[in-house]
Amino acid sequence: MEQNDLEASAIRLQKRIGYTFKDKVLLRVALTHPSLTHNNKDHPENNQRMEFLGDAVLDLILAEELYKAYPDEREGFLGQCRSSMVRGDTLSEIARNLKIQNALLLSPSEERNKGRNKDSNLEDALESLTGAIYLDSDYKSVRKVVLKWFKKLLQNLEKKVAKDNPKGNLQEAVQAKGNEPIEYRVLNVDGPDHAREFKIAVFIGGKRKGTGVGNSKKKAEEIAAEKAFKRMK
Cα–Cα distance, 133 to 139 (Å, whole number) = 9
pLDDT-flagged residues of the chain (< 50): none
Q: Sign of the C-alpha dihedral, residues 70, 74, 80, 82?
A: positive
55 is catalytic: yes
Q: Catalytic residue, from 110, 123, 127, 222: name it.
A: 127
Q: What are the two backbone dihedrals, phi and then psi, of residue 118, each rounded to the nearest 5 degrees?
A: -70, 135
**Nearest by Cα to 135 from 52, 37, 208:** 52
Given this model, what pLDDT does residue 163 score? Answer: 64
- What are the extents of the domains in the chain? 3-161, 166-232
Cα–Cα distance, 63 to 78 (Å, whole number) = 8
Cα–Cα distance, 7 to 148 (Å, whole number) = 24
Domain 166-232 has CATH 3.30.160.20: yes
Given this model, what pLDDT does residue 135 score? Answer: 98
Rg of the chain taking only CA atoms, in angstroms: 21
51 is catalytic: no
* CATH number, domain 3-161, options 3.90.226.10, 3.90.1300.10, 1.10.1520.10, 1.20.210.10: 1.10.1520.10
Given this model, what pLDDT does residue 3 score? Answer: 58
pTM: 0.69
